[in-house]
Homo-oligomer: A and B are copies of this chain.
Amino acid sequence: MNGSGDGAARRPVTLDDVARAAGVSQPTASRVLNGSSRRVAPSYRERVLTAARELGYTPNLPAQAMARGTSRTIALVISLISDPYFSAMAAEIMKQAEAIGLHVSIAVTERLAERELDLVRELRGQQPRAIILAGTGYVEPPSEQALIDELQRYEETGGRVVLISRSDLPFETVDFDNHEGSRQLARELATLGYRNCLVLGSATPLLSMQQRVEGFVAGLAESGVTNTRVHQPGFSWVGAREYVLGLPDAEARELDLVFAVTDDMALGALAGLRERGLRVPEDVGVAGFDDISTLRDVVPRLTTVHVALNAVAQEAVYRATTTDTDLVRRTVPAYPVVRDSTPRVTTSRRR
């Protein structure tokens, strides 16, 4: 349709081009194509629509954002996108946001606490309507106050801040019930006969992970199991595996259960146990936390704590877009799912 030669970069089609082609003023074209109070004469309306279609007009979003003073973007900060937990979270948030016509801009901290502040700053520059911080939350973060300042400054200019899984900051928060989830799990496992448990927390001081550890220990204690060992290997598959491999033989032999604060770590522990010649679940049970769906093919199927990611995402996006100003900390339930990796302990068990 566009007869001009290829190659040389041409100017994008603007609202002005459309208006001229339709023989109307530029504001009129704007009203037809993007405006809300659409009181435009049908004949004009038709001409504008036709011109826009023929020219292949696309609104310049940055320009719109600038003129309107607000964008249709939500900024999402996550730790790692290749982590199934976070990619699932991101997917849910994108779905929820798109459902209400919002675009999600993702930034990744690569698990570096310092990067978080830089990212927030950079994201602010995009003038998003809201910033959602998911899944970092260190117990004693290096630049906590600077981050708070930055976020508060953002809020002061009309932006909304929503935190997921880090209820330690003075902003809207959505969280799972980490403590209760692993407490319930611990009680169920105790009922199944587990008595010698190793809990793998996280060397990286993450608040939610700490809660999971505490909840699990508490649950066991309520069930009369008090000899639980807690260790904090590196916060990863590799960290958990290496920790398990480094366990003294005597200690490893005593174990009948390893609970790790994430499914990822639980699988690392599982790999380590097997490398040591221990059978799972025959010799040792393994349990995790998160209920990552892509793990359905792991054998044995992993006992874990399920968190309703979609509920979290929905709540987070809702909080990010509502105009309520009361600071809410909503907790989404988490509940244990016992599967093959933790069968009932029988007397025939090794120890």
Contact = CB atoms under 8 A, between A and B. Distances in A.
Given A121-B58, A297-B267, A157 B11 contact: yes
Contacts of A270: 297
Contacts of A61: 62, 125-127
Contact of A84 (B2, B9, B62, B84): B84
A36 interface: no
Given A157-B10, A299-B299, A58 B294 contact: no
Contact count band on A: 35 or more
Contacts of A84: 82, 84, 87, 294
A58 B127 CA distance: 10
Contacts of A156: 2, 6, 9-10
Interface string A297-331: 11100000000000000000000000001000000
A349 interface: no
A153 interface: yes
A104 B56 CA distance: 24
A94 interface: yes
Interface string A37-76: 0000000000000000000101111110110000100000
A77 to B, nearest CB: 13
B91 A82 contact: yes
A3 to B, nearest CB: 12
A141 interface: no
- Between A63, A125, A267, the greatest number of chain B beta carbons within 10 A of the residue's beta carbon is seen for A125
Given A62-B126, A81-B90, A271 B294 contact: no
B58 A62 contact: no
A191 interface: no
Contact of A294 (B90, B122, B149, B294): B294
11 contacts: A6-B156, A9-B158, A60-B125, A82-B88, A84-B87, A91-B108, A98-B108, A103-B126, A105-B105, A267-B297, A295-B297
Given A6-B156, A294-B294, 16 more contacts: A56-B149, A56-B153, A58-B125, A60-B66, A60-B125, A62-B63, A62-B126, A66-B66, A81-B81, A81-B94, A82-B87, A82-B88, A82-B91, A82-B293, A105-B105, A298-B299
